[in-house]
Amino acid sequence: MSQHATAGAPAAPSPPPSRRPALRGPATAVLLAAALAPALPATAWDVDPRMSRSTFEEFHRRLATSVYAYPRHGAAPLGLVGFDVYADLTADDSFADEPFADEALDGDLEGDLLLVGRVGARKGLPGGIDLGASYAVALGGDLELVSGELQWAWIDGGLVTPSLALRVTATRTLDAGVYDLDQYGAELLLSKGFAVVTPYVGAGAAYSEGTLDAVGGERFETDDTRFIAYAGITVSLLIPKITLEVEQGDELTGALRVAFGF
């Protein structure tokens, strides 16, 4: 018997091509995002008001933790003369793979990545308190957000002891189109400085309210509370500080921050 296929027999179907590389994690995604970000068009996608209510609820739940204002810094207070100004980039590499994505977005995510760029500043105050504010935009999309944060260093830390802080945040959409987001979070943040390296971990909860001005004059509303956790490491190179953070909300995401200050 011949080992070759009989002439005219149908060939086995080829597997469908993967939408994104099989090997991609938060760190790889955020480095790819940094390379893609400068080439992104001003507007490549919008939130689609034609989505159904059930799709909107899934979209909001997933988006809310992807755009959350995670710390990307340690728990030690900046001090009365301390300050930081920064820019960071978040990459969610599985957002486009969610079942709701095609209906919720009018357009395509570049490289199948949901990218969020953020700029902001933090200032140290007396009593171990730091205040911060930031502006964020979903790159290539129509979402803009403003956030505020207050952090209180419950334990300041020292040569051998870690720092422990309570951090609260508030975020809302700015100049919103059809979608509005209001979000509040509270976390405990633990870190320990070692010369130029500061690892840190944290966990808490984020509460998010979302509304959509849907087609036909309907207004969808939903809310969601999610456990969040994160871990990161900051490398201080004299003036610049470089932070790589891995974040767990609804899914695992990665972020890269460059900050300047003292």
Summarised one tens digit per residue, pLDDT across range 215-251 is 989 999 999 999 999 999 999 988 899 999 999 988 8
Select the CATH number that applies to the domain covering 26-261 from these four: 3.30.2320.30, 3.30.360.10, 3.40.50.740, 2.40.160.20.
Answer: 2.40.160.20
Backbone angles phi, psi at 115, to 5 degrees: -110, 130
β-pairing, 197-213 with 179-191?
A: antiparallel
pTM of the model: 0.83
Summarised one tens digit per residue, pLDDT across range 41-96 is 556 899 999 999 999 999 999 999 999 999 999 999 999 999 999 999 999 989 98
The C-alpha atoms of residue 135 and residue 170 are separated, in whole angstroms, by: 12
> Residue 161: CB partners within 8 Å, gap ≥ 6?
155
Quote the pLDDT of residue 42. Answer: 54
pLDDT of 14 strictly over 60: no
Summarised one tens digit per residue, pLDDT across range 25-45 is 555 555 555 544 555 555 689
Alpha helices for 20-95 (secondary structure H): 26-36, 53-66
Q: Domain residues of the chain, as ranges?
A: 26-261
